[in-house]
Amino acid sequence: MRNNFMFTSESVTAGHPDKLCDQISDAIVDHFLRQDPHARVRAECTVSRGIVFIAARFATSAKVDLPHEARKVIKRVGYDQQDFNSKTCSILTAPQGFPPQKKAQFDEHALTEKQIAKIPVDSQVTVFGFACDQTPTLMPLPIWLAHKMARRLAAVRKDGVLPYLMPDGKIQVGIEYQERKPLRVHSTTITASQRNARKPSLKILRSDIMETVFKPIFDDEAVEPDNNTRVFVNPTGVFLGGPSHHSGLTGRKNAVDTYGEFSRQSGDALSGKDPMRIDRVGAYAARYAAKNVVAAGLATECEVALSYSIGMTLPVSLQVNTFGTSRKPQEEILDLVKKHFDFRLGAILRQFNVRHLPSLNPEGFYRRLAAYGHVGRDDVDLPWEKTDKAELLAS
């Protein structure tokens, strides 16, 4: 394993067309679950110039106005262009509704251990959870900084600091590592979209982005840019962006949703599906275990991999990899994870309360995860980000 290297991760703003689709899909999931926590939902979305297409399959008695939910998201994100805005864009839907599923009608908080053992998963997947000691949230530094910069880019537009910006933006941050520890900021690329191709000038935009987006990000960071750090702002020139200029699709930004490819990730999307889908909540459970291992001081890096098969209750495979950073044999850490974490679907539903979180968050729960990451968040109270088992593991 290499100890000295440079690694880059990408983040995008909430206005990126792919992320717009993720937010629409998860807003639909939120709305169904608010009315019926037992709803089964799968929602896919694609956007292009002036058009939104939603394909939704659901088993519930709840009613959702799919175009209305999409228009609310588009307005919230900030699209008000003539050829793409929440009022005039065409929204096509292909809904498939089914009666509520009997097997989903249970109260996970009232289940016995015997009953939990009888709840199988209905999809097959291998999911990964990762944590490391590079940041306070135990996330890899490149994706942490990329998310931080993307949120800042969105904020200066929304707050009117740079009113000429449009919602679409992309960030890439490269970090140089020495002995697998972040050493310096190697490079950063910021691509910001603007309303008018002729103004402001590229020179002014680059200066504005440097002063209001790039520099403030590092005020409270231990690893900072130096004289050799390369910073590129709109390196290919003017970028207009948004659905008017490039299309979007749900589930196309898995690396942005997870660990910026510093760790492995599942090929399955996280957004657009209800929390009885193990390919969604299994990834959250794996992150929970990996984060607690690192928080306990058992390793400085930890990856937990879970493989599920249709019709099975327990993962058919559970693996732990600490990449040579553990303070005790890796097999012992695996045994601790097996002992203290329950990766059965019913147990995950019960511990994280994931089917009821939308009703407890009127502004939307899963929609908020659809931009800037499903893990490593310090702005959303996520049950899988708690380190409440660290002390137990350490002892």
Model pLDDT for residues 156-191, shown as the tens digit of each residue: 999 999 999 999 999 999 999 999 999 999 999 999
The domain boundary residue, chosen from 245, 267, 299: 245
In a domain, 113, yes or no: no
Among 245, 260, 283, give the residue marking a domain's end.
245
Query: By residue range, what is the domain housing residue 304?
Result: 125-134+250-394
Domain check: are 275 and 130 in the same one? yes
In a domain, 83, yes or no: yes
Task: Tell me, yes or no, whether 254 and 380 share the same domain.
Answer: yes
- pLDDT > 90? residue 124: yes
Q: What is the pLDDT of residue 196?
A: 87
pLDDT on residue 362: 85
In a domain, 153, yes or no: yes
Give the mean pLDDT of 232-251: 93
How many CB atoms within 10 Å of residue 202?
Answer: 13
Residue 232 token pair: 């590129």
**Based on the domain organization, do 258 and 162 belong to the same domain?**
no
Domain boundary among 229, 245, 261: 245
Q: What percent of the chain has pLDDT over 90?
A: 95
* Phi-psi region at 57: left, alpha or beta (left = phi > 0; alpha = psi -120 to 50): beta
> Which bin fits 140, alpha (ψ -120 to 50), beta or left (φ > 0)?
beta
Dihedral of CA atoms 238, 241, 244, 246 in degrees, nearest 10, equals 110
Nearest to 70 by CA among 51, 42, 97, 49: 51
337 and 205 in a single domain? The answer is no
Do 284 and 261 belong to one domain?
yes
| CATH number of residue 49's parent domain | 3.30.300.10
Q: What is the pLDDT of residues 343-366, one digit of tens each?
A: 999 999 999 999 999 999 988 999
Q: In this structure, how many other beta carbons lie within 10 angstroms of the beta carbon of residue 122?
A: 16
Q: How close are the terminal C-alpha atoms of the chain, in Å?
A: 30
The pLDDT confidence band at residue 3, using thresholds 50, 70 and 90, is: confident
pLDDT band at residue 261 under the 50/70/90 scheme: very high
Give the C-alpha separation, 376 to 283, whole Å.
Answer: 13
* 3-class DSSP assignment, residue 115: helix
pLDDT at site 340: 97
Q: Give 301-334 pLDDT, tens digit per residue.
A: 999 999 999 999 999 999 999 999 999 999 999 9
| Same domain? 224 vs 306 | no
Does position 211 have pLDDT exceeding 90, yes or no?
A: yes
Cβ proximity of 1 and 323 under 8 Å: yes
Predicted confidence at residue 1, as pLDDT, reads 58
Same-domain check for residues 282 and 354: yes
d(CA 118, CA 280): 20
Do 275 and 388 reside in the same domain of the chain?
yes
Same domain, 255 and 209: no
What's the pLDDT at 197?
84
Both 51 and 66 in one domain: the answer is: yes
How far is the C-alpha of 49 from the C-alpha of 55, rounded, in Å? Answer: 18
130 with 255, same domain: the answer is: yes
State the pTM of this model.
0.96
pLDDT at 199 over 90: no
Residues 294 and 309 in one domain: yes
Residue 236 pLDDT > 90: yes
Of 141, 144, 137, 139, nearest to 387 (Cα)? 137
Contacts of 374-378 with CB under 8 Å at 24 or more apart are 374/257, 374/258, 374/270, 374/283, 374/284, 375/129, 375/139, 375/257, 375/258, 375/259, 375/283, 375/284, 375/287, 376/135, 376/137, 376/138, 376/139, 376/143, 376/144, 376/147, 376/259, 377/137, 378/136, 378/137
Question: Is position 329 within any domain?
Answer: yes
**What is the residue-averaged pLDDT of the chain?**
96
Question: What tens digit of pLDDT does each residue of 20-58 get?
Answer: 999 999 999 999 999 999 999 999 999 999 999 999 999
Give me the mean pLDDT over the 129-138 stretch.
97
**How many domains would you assign to the chain?**
3
Q: What is the pLDDT of residues 85-109, one digit of tens each?
A: 999 999 999 999 999 999 999 999 9
Using CA atoms, how far apart are residues 323 and 91, in angstroms rounded to an integer?
47
pLDDT at 335 over 90: yes
